[in-house]
A = this chain, B = another copy of it.
Amino acid sequence: MDRGAIAIWEPNHIRSAAIETDSGARIAMPQSSAARFELGAPPSATTPEELLAAAYAGCFTMTFAEQLTASGYSASRLHTEVRVQLVRPGGHWEIPSIRIHCSAIVPGIEEHEFLAIAHAARNGGPIAQALRAEITLTVSLDPGGLVASRGWHVPEQGPGDIAPVAR
């Protein structure tokens, strides 16, 4: 099976740059590199890099939620932010790395179980596996109430290497 999208570029028409997906979503596309890569202000339209961030944020969140469920836990909230880095070392824009942070509320889970499942979810989804860019994952477990959440950096190598991070 497959999933797809169509981009249409017609500079002489009013709706000149748009993307439409299988499910019927219509997404405005920037018409110039200036609008796509402008520094500072948010872009005027959704950019390809934003869509990649959205794809991976959705994929990781679904994968993590399902692996928590499969382990007998039910997340009451997962909040995942993905930042796609853009650099232009030789005049061309490149994506050297992608940062992802997920803060979670998972009633009843122990830290070591949470981290083991986060590690399994790290590269478990199809989007992560399709990416060549370096991925940096941090997670935090929010106990709720007034207790501060705790955070960890989850490397690719193994759950044994997971290190706490100050957030």
Contact residues in B for A53 (Cβ distance below 8 Å): 3-5, 21
Q: Report A1-26 CB contacts with B as 1/0, cut-off 8 Å.
A: 11111111111100001010111110
CB distance from A48 to the nearest CB of B (A): 4
A139 interface hit (Cβ, 8 Å):
no
Contact of A1 among B2, B39, B56 (CB under 8 A): B39
A76 interface hit (Cβ, 8 Å):
yes
Q: Given that A3-B49, A3-B86 are contacting pairs, would A130 and B129 also be in contact in the complex, using a CB cutoff of 8 Å?
A: no
Q: Is the interface of A mostly helix, strand, loop or mixed?
A: mixed
Q: Given that A43-B22, A77-B10, A85-B2 are contacting pairs, would A51 and B54 also be in contact in the complex, using a CB cutoff of 8 Å?
A: yes
A163 interface hit (Cβ, 8 Å):
no
In the complex, are the beta carbons of A126 and B30 less than 8 A apart?
no
A82 interface hit (Cβ, 8 Å):
yes
Contact residues in B for A80 (Cβ distance below 8 Å): 6-9
> Which residues of A are at the interface with B, using a C-beta cutoff of 8 A?
1-12, 17, 19, 21-25, 27, 29-30, 33, 36-37, 39, 42-62, 65-66, 74-86, 92-95, 98-99, 124-127, 129-133
